[in-house]
Amino acid sequence: MKTIEIRITGRVQKVGLRNCIRHIAGKLCIKGEVMNLPDGSVKIVASGDPLTLDKFSSMIYGCPRALVREMEICEIPFRSFADFSVVRSIE
């Protein structure tokens, strides 16, 4: 098990991306959270099996209406989550 942090830029807010990501995570049994950031990007923290996390990150490109320009992925210290949730942004 490992945890990754993904930062996504492009047309990624107000297009249903967070719900799409939550749906993908549910299908793959990924735990974590996704949130909008004030700079217009989206941040994901996801925990799971390394191969499943690779599949998860590649499936994000298939979310409709979103235009992913760049996706930065880095491994961070393991975090345990009960489920996968959408965190409401504070703006």
Active site residues: 18, 36
Q: Are strands 42-48 and 31-36 parallel, antiparallel or unpaired?
A: antiparallel
73: tokens are 């992925």
Closest CA to 82 of 36, 35, 44, 33: 33
